Chain A
Amino acid sequence: MKDLLDLWFTYMKIGFVNFGGGYAMLPLLERELVNKKGWTTMEELRDWFAIGQCTPGVIALNVSTFVGHKRKGVAGAIAAMLGFLTGPIAIILVVAAFLKNFAQLEVVQHAFAGIRVCVCVLIAQAVIRLWKSSVIDVFTFVLYVIIFALSAFSGVLPFKIPAAVLVVLAGLTGLTVSMVRNRKKAERKEGDA
């Protein structure tokens, strides 16, 4: 029970400061979950983000479910999810009940223009941290460039490929390439023998 409360509380803190979507959250998660709590590793987080992108639902919520499940199974996943939702629910209920023109307030607009700059920096930090362990050879670099180009210029392309489809295709390509490599390696070994 104590562990579940700890999960809930840790994720409640994260949910309250989850500005700028799932990706900006990564440095925060590294700080809270990897360094402070030791619940997971940066490598695991990286893989959970990759899956969270191509499964339905909010990416940040998907990652919190993974973290909770690793700690305490199904109950842990639910505790982390509820913790993560606590902040946003509370804030939106207050905004909906009391602040009619919250988003139009000048002070709010200025504050969030400032926060958006910070979100850029946080995401840049996330990319730099993940780059080394993900873009490891020519194949992964080429894949990075292709996926980057397809999603960055999706507005000018004549066809629209949903992000989830891109990620799934990339996974299948990785699977095929590594299988072909393994087979070649096995054949070479047989040839040597």
Chain B
Amino acid sequence: MIFLRLVLEFAKTGLFSVGGGLATLPFLYEMASNTGWFTHADVADMIAVSESTPGAIGINMSTYAGFKTDGIPGGIMATLGLALPSVIIILIIARFLAKFRKNPLVEGAFYGLRPASIAMITVAGLNVAKISLLNLPAWEISHAVGDLFVWKALALGVVLFIAQKKLKWHPVIFIAISAVVGIVFKF
């Protein structure tokens, strides 16, 4: 019953990892130790792959581990297992919201949830900016402003920011352009 175990193990991960992809990591390491389906090195590799493909690390890791264990069906089952708990929880909340959206208590909760949500999004953006626009290791050695910024990345960022305001292009086009610029200018 490897299928059932795959689904259950990943459903457990999906249920307890709150707050996006990286929250799944401790569970994945634990699963590697307990089941032997994949190794700790596999998890590290998958972090790199997840940064280089669309999709969240939790989803990617479940597909990868399922595939390693039982081929393509295993990959699909493990991924569905990961998604299942959150889908059920969201369905319950969605039903509740549809009924009580105008309730003053629900409105009040959102009054606080919204600014908090945006604060977290800002921090997530800054974390990406830190690794893509700044070169902290070089700056720590030299403490020269010239070394702090990755100038070509910064230039691309400014151009993209202005371009997406002026041009009503699909965001995917900007993603594709950025990939090409990254390859051509060796980011």
Contacts and interface: CB of A to CB of B under 8 A. Distances in A.
Contact of A57 (B64, B83, B153): B83
Given A70-B94, A134-B115, A113 B105 contact: no
Interface in A113-136: 113-127, 130-131, 133-135
A50 to B, nearest CB: 4
A95 B50 CA distance: 11
B137 interface: no
B119 A93 contact: no
**Interface residue SS majority, chain A:** helix
Contacts of A53: 19-20, 117, 120
Interface string B62-78: 01100110001001100
Contacts of A148: 119, 122-123
Chain B residues touching A, range: 35 or more
B26 to A, nearest CB: 12
A144 B115 contact: yes
Chain A residues touching B, range: 35 or more
Contacts of B56: 18, 21-22, 58-61, 88
B35 interface: no
Contact of B53 (A92, A167, A178): A92
B94 A77 contact: yes
Interface stretch (B1-9, B85-93, B140-148): B85-93
Most buried by A among B16, B121, B157: B121
A5 interface: no
B179 A172 contact: no
A121 B174 contact: yes
A37 to B, nearest CB: 14
Contact of A163 (B18, B45, B64, B109): B18
Most buried by A among B76, B107, B129: B129
Contact of A51 (B15, B67, B113, B161): B113
Nearest to A65: B90
A19 to B, nearest CB: 5
B63 A88 contact: yes
A56 B17 contact: yes
A174 B110 contact: yes
B170 A127 contact: no
A66 interface: yes
Given A19-B175, A23-B125, A118-B175, A92 B55 contact: yes
B109 A58 contact: no
B59 A77 contact: no
Contact of A113 (B93, B108, B132, B171): B132
B112 A28 contact: no
B178 interface: yes
Contacts of A17: 54, 171-172, 175
A121 B90 contact: no
A89 B187 contact: no
Contacts of B90: 51-52, 55, 57, 62, 65-66, 69, 77
Interface of B: 14-21, 23, 45, 48-49, 51-56, 58-60, 63-64, 67-68, 72, 75-76, 79-80, 82-83, 85-87, 89-91, 93-95, 97-98, 104-105, 107-126, 128-129, 131-133, 153, 156-157, 160-161, 164, 170-172, 174-175, 177-183, 185-187
Given A19-B175, A107-B183, A174-B108, 11 more contacts: A15-B54, A56-B15, A114-B187, A116-B132, A117-B160, A130-B114, A145-B119, A147-B116, A151-B120, A163-B18, A164-B19
